[in-house]
Structure 1
């Protein structure tokens, strides 16, 4: 069995906001005002990093085969989406996310549309069918698909006693990293989120009885060897 754990890092797309609200694209202040202070809709998120962890279950133990994070310092958004989709076409993995149904997958689809990227990999399996397990959204599943029961990734990791987000960083700091050209830090932050999601996945597998305690410990040891 093969899984691909992934996570997006994004910044606001003020150009898209300006187009939607018929604003002068050079007037960033007006675009920011139109965007508002709440969390932007998926349409208005420009992808600046995609973190991916590929893992395979061998003799009951989940072994990490690769961990990477492509970012805007290397490739533009179009290339990031196209490269991610090409991996889906090639491997057709089961996807694992934390809040992927509510954020990462819709953002990918909207941004592929906006950038004119053909993305057959996103349709290689029913990834957008909310209750199917082709795309396991741990946030949704653990909360019973009830928004009132959802928790954040870092809070859950702390409750479970496993490493979560990198100290001193959260999603709100991504734009500052991009503006400062700190793409290595951006990639490390993204990979840490992916690795945290993988550890929650292992806890969920243990909860389901899909792996026994020894396999769970061995799988966590695999994750502990990863160098961010």
Structure 2
């Protein structure tokens, strides 16, 4: 059986780690600390607040995933589970523990820049929180760069750096999918967390997962691993998910709840 886990993490800077790095005396309040963190990582000429902090200084606030599978290696994928969980409902350690538990079945991971960001963040957070995750630490098939068990579509579509790396929004636009809810992008996640807008964050993360799945299906067709008809069927079968009648997912699927 082919089993895939299409996933995406949403993260924000870890101010506790940032304080240990930049303000061990505790002289700065959180706002000043955040400014110091931004200044450390900002590129020359970048707008304030736009600096991308390195993976070790992130914490995970939301994980979206879509599990799909197929018995026939030449047939369509059927959805098994779609979920978006966040730290508004549970501690980060529990959020990560549940994700790690899903790796025990060894699904093929499908992501976008997940080799460069999401899985490194996961490894750092496991170290910070004391969580065992051997699948992403012990030279497993998820960590080998050219492994067919971890499909980082950003890496693959850029030919491992030979071509400029696309964004998910760019890749989604090519295949006719929408990657972001209107008026939302990654730079807003931190502010949405501060405001307690967990519904908005979940919608943003969920839309990325569904757009990524559409990109994967188009990639699989182009690679010859899936027919165009089966790709269309795979996308349509999302409506068979038990969650498809819940308003949040119904909205992401473009249907009434």
**TM-score past 0.5 threshold:** yes
CA RMSD of aligned residues (A): 1.8
Unpaired segments ≥5 residues, structure 2: 43-50, 253-257
Tell me if 1:113 matches 2:131: no
Tell me if 1:47 matches 2:60: yes
Per mean C-alpha deviation after superposition, the further-off stretch among 7-16 and 139-148 is 139-148
- Aligned residue number for residue 14 of structure 2: 13
Cα-to-partner distance string for 1:13-63 (whole Å, 9 max, x where unaligned): 111011122434463244223322321000111100011110012441011
Q: Secondary structure at the match of 2:170?
A: helix
Cα-to-partner distance string for 1:147-195 (whole Å, 9 max, x where unaligned): 7521110121112212322111111111122111111221121111111
Q: Secondary structure at the match of 1:149?
A: coil
Unpaired segments ≥5 residues, structure 1: none
Cα-to-partner distance string for 1:125-147 (whole Å, 9 max, x where unaligned): 42111111211100000110117
Q: Secondary structure at the match of 2:222?
A: helix
- Aligned residue number for residue 93 of structure 1: 107
Paired residues of 2:69 and 2:78 also in contact (CA < 8 A): yes
Question: Normalization by structure 2: what TM-score?
Answer: 0.82
- Aligned residue number for residue 96 of structure 2: 81
Question: Normalization by structure 1: what TM-score?
Answer: 0.92
Distance in 2, Cα, partners of 1:10 & 1:29: 18
- Aligned residue number for residue 214 of structure 2: 199
Cα-to-partner distance string for 1:68-91 (whole Å, 9 max, x where unaligned): 0110111111111111111112x1
Decide which structure has the larger Cα Rg and report it. Answer: 2
In structure 1, which of residues 180, 185, 188 is the aligned counterpart of residue 200 of structure 2? 185
Q: Secondary structure at the match of 2:67?
A: strand
Distance in 1, Cα, partners of 2:238 & 2:160: 28
